Structure 1
Amino acid sequence: MTIRVAFCSDALVIWGAERSLLEIVQATPGFKADILAHPDSPLLGVPDLAASGVAMAPRFTRGSGGIRKAPWLLVADVILACLYSIPLAVRLRTYDAVVCFGTWELLQVLPAAKMARRPCVLDLHETFAGSLGNRALRLLVGLCDGVIATSSDLATGLPESRVRIVGRPVRLIPAKVVKPRRAGAPLRLSMLGQVTPHKRVLEVAKICALMAPNSVELRVTGLSAPTASSEYEKCVRDVAKEHPEVVDVRERTTDVAAELAAADCLINASVHEAFGRTVVEAMQAGLLPIVVGDSGASEIVRRHGVGRVIREVSDLPRLLHELRALTADEWNVIRGEARAVGAQYAPSHVVPKYYQALTELISTDNRF
């Protein structure tokens, strides 16, 4: 029997979570997955999916909500989301199960799934810093048939019986030659992804700029174009201008492999991180991941024992000094261990686990 699953997404940009979604919906025995996306979503323009039989259909949508909105705007969002859920419910009747790929989309997707009498599972890959957001999350989760979360850290406080922890599939980084470390050479560091305050890129750049000359080189990749840069990104650019021999900044790229091939370590300093895709990508490329604080990213490092976790950004200089002293043989061992762990997150390993978790969460429905 083939189970038809609708993945509902309001994403307007393709970041790591959406790249994982594109892997999840590929052909899997026993399942047929479609994506019902925001009408303006770039997901609708992905060319390879149509050939693999995945439907990329726009749906009526109200857009994402936000707990920081004014109360009357939140009420308006809820009312409009419920109204928009009616035509969505008609479409969901053609599926066996619904996965809501985003927490605030539940305002529309959950009522639609209830009206269509279809089980609804939340794919939880977002973090909530405030207590109000977490209370709202627990309320919404209580109305779902289950949750598939990217990390145990993210699922803290949720009922264990209704939660499954499954990492995200990460397509293996193409093998590229990584230049071996030379004794006494600067330690090559990389930071990938969005350059926003919660990623603490500026803090890391400032610390690297103050370290001893020729000890480290930091490359930051993921900035917006100069004309569209945020104030935070401009501050990062300023540090690079003041210390060009230490900090190099680049705009977002699709050639992740090339960026990682030029580094020894990847730094993830996010205040909160649902999963840590860049950590897995770094491991696949043979890099040593360095994670600051407790998050989904540090959970990956601790689970597999490959990489380093430090408490504060201020602990970086001491750790980088220790890593710079490692021998070439020690770096070769690190690269091999990292690649072995990174391979465990290949889609062929993770996607079956995802659908197994989904099957368990909807198994109380008599149709399965």
Structure 2
Amino acid sequence: MGARRVKITFLIHNVYGIGGTIRTTLNLAAALADRHEVTIVSMLRQRARPRFAVDPRVRIVPLVDLREGSADTADPLLGRPAEVFPAAEKRYRQYSRLTDRRAEEYLRACDADVIIGTRPGVNVYLARFGPPGALRIAQEHLTHDTHSRKLLGSLARHYRALDAVVTTTEADAAVYRAKMRLPGVRVLAVPNGVPDPGLPPADLSAKVVAAAGRLVRGKRFDLLIEAFEEVAAKQPDWSLRIYGAGAEKERLQQSIDGRGLAGQVRLMGTRSPIEPEFAQASIVVSASEAESFGMTLVEAMRCGVPVVSTDCPLGPAEIIRHGVDGLLVPVGDREALTAALLELITDEPARRRMGEAARAAARRFDPAPVARSYDDLFAELAGSRRSRAWQRGLGSARGRLGSVRGRLGSVRGRLGRVLRGAGR
């Protein structure tokens, strides 16, 4: 299948918004469109056009139109809670019986050779309604251990019907293999593709540190601001620019003002694309508690900018080679974060050396080889259908046998208690 032209459909939450999953899906779709017919199905639509550029060869199909005045907003099913989309999924409140119905109608009639879901709840739609003749692949842009126990129970039941689960890091793939029993389902890691921004490499002379991401607690911009307070005291001509939007904006601004850093730390709002902003910096930093991949790190490296990141689960250690193209520091360690920033600020030759190494290393995330990895996966899955179906059947039989043994053990236990009671 990988060598011939096929029809590929991506299922995404909302291609009209802003986010890492949207960017990576569009990057991969464009790379696959060199050889295949590609469609992106967006569960929701809230604006006329996507915020990110879409390759003209890629078709966009929205399922539920939430724009004011659309016919869908008057559909009574829109006000009824979803029954198929898992309630434990973080986006559950944005789904409805209308979303359930549209997803089912689309998937049951879909003639794609390959269908790829891009978030847990959407992957459940794929498992429930995807045509059995298509290869059904679940991408995990989050991580196994960030899902609740309830959601993982739902995913374990539904993912068994799929052909593959693809994570963004080897570490997360290993967790899925160890913790989620999926006989006949290929579990593997394929990194996100990040295209060359087409910019000259940063000259690394600007006295600017940049960071980007959603302004939420898990990204630990509060810790970054604390760390930069000491940096600013020792290097008053350096500044920190934070790009993004989110619920923590007001609290972060209060921290900046309270520390007297208003002249050196600025909340810049969102920028798309972000690479031109990174190219104007000399260091890019991430203080996150957890990352499923680390898109901003790769985007910075593609601009020839060295990165400082917490060594958080699961992505940064698979992107950054400590001391070669960036620096890794322990999660939550303000002093280590401060020291790493000061190291790159004060050692210009090291900064330039790491920036050059970062630009070279980031080429491994080109969308073209990532797309070829998917082509190889399609061919492998198509060729192993029969053997994987046998593995799935064997696994199901073992599961039923284990269930029977469990019930027998329960009966024996009750019978033993009855006999012991009768002998008293």
TM (normalized to structure 2)?
A: 0.72
Tell me the SS of whatever aligns to 1:157.
helix
Residue range with higher mean Cα deviation, 36-45 or 289-298: 36-45
Pick from 331, 337, 340 the counterpart of residue 357 of structure 2: 337
Pick from 305, 326, 335 the counterpart of residue 307 of structure 1: 326
Tell me the SS of whatever aligns to 2:355.
helix
Whole-angstrom CA distance in 2 between matches of 1:254 and 1:350:
22
Offset of residue 109 of structure 1: 2.1
Output the amino acid matched with 1:357.
L
Whole-angstrom CA distance in 1 between matches of 2:48 and 2:189:
25
Rate the CA distance shift 1:317–1:240 in 2: closer, same or farther, 3 A: same
2:122 aligned partner: 105
1:234 aligned partner: 250
Whole-angstrom CA distance in 2 between matches of 1:252 and 1:334:
27
Q: Deviations over 1:286-314 (max 9, x none)?
A: 11111212321232114995211111332
Task: Give the unaligned 5+ runs of structure 1.
Answer: 225-229
Number of residue equivalences: 347
Does the 8 A contact of 1:274 with 1:296 survive in 2?
A: yes
Does the 8 A contact of 1:35 with 1:57 survive in 2?
A: yes
Output the amino acid matched with 1:9.
I
Offset of residue 236 of structure 1: 1.0
Q: Does residue 1:220 correspond to 2:238, yes or no? A: no
Output the amino acid matched with 2:23.
R
Q: Deviations over 1:180-239 (max 9, x none)?
A: 448xxx6x3211121111111112112212445252522101125xxxxx2x21011123
Rate the CA distance shift 1:214–1:166 in 2: closer, same or farther, 3 A: same
Offset of residue 105 of structure 1: 0.8
Whole-angstrom CA distance in 1 between matches of 2:197 and 2:89:
37
Does the 8 A contact of 1:268 with 1:297 survive in 2?
A: no
Whole-angstrom CA distance in 1 between matches of 2:327 and 2:153:
32
Whole-angstrom CA distance in 1 between matches of 2:239 and 2:272:
22
Q: Does residue 1:253 correspond to 2:275, yes or no? A: no
Spell out the pairing of 1:160-309 with structure 2 (5 A cutoff): 162-176=186-200, 178-181=202-205, 188-211=208-231, 213-215=233-235, 216-223=238-245, 230=247, 232-241=248-257, 242-292=260-310, 293-302=312-321, 305-309=324-328
Q: Deviations over 1:119-175 (max 9, x none)?
A: 311011113425504444444333321112111232233238711211111121232
Spell out the pairing of 1:37-186 with structure 2 (5 A cutoff): 37-40=42-45, 45=50, 49=54, 51-52=56-57, 54-59=58-63, 65-67=86-88, 83-92=101-110, 94-114=111-131, 116-127=132-143, 128-132=145-149, 133-159=151-177, 162-176=186-200, 178-181=202-205
Rate the CA distance shift 1:251–1:218 in 2: closer, same or farther, 3 A: same
Spell out the pairing of 1:21-40 with structure 2 (5 A cutoff): 21-26=25-30, 27-28=32-33, 30-40=35-45
Whole-angstrom CA distance in 1 between matches of 2:48 and 2:319:
28
Whole-angstrom CA distance in 2 between matches of 1:361 and 1:317:
47
Offset of residue 251 of structure 1: 0.6
Residue range with higher mean Cα deviation, 278-287 or 156-165: 156-165
Tell me the SS of whatever aligns to 1:33.
strand
Whole-angstrom CA distance in 2 between matches of 1:280 and 1:296:
11
Output the amino acid matched with 2:135.
P
2:420 aligned partner: none
Does the 8 A contact of 1:44 with 1:57 survive in 2?
A: no
Does the 8 A contact of 2:127 with 2:159 survive in 1?
A: no
* Identity value in percent: 18
Offset of residue 107 of structure 1: 2.7
Whole-angstrom CA distance in 2 between matches of 1:238 and 1:179:
33
Residue range with higher mean Cα deviation, 310-319 or 162-171: 310-319
Does the 8 A contact of 2:302 with 2:358 survive in 1?
A: yes
1:227 aligned partner: none
Output the amino acid matched with 1:325.
T
Output the amino acid matched with 1:296.
G
Whole-angstrom CA distance in 1 between matches of 2:304 and 2:52:
30
2:5 aligned partner: 2
Output the amino acid matched with 1:265.
I
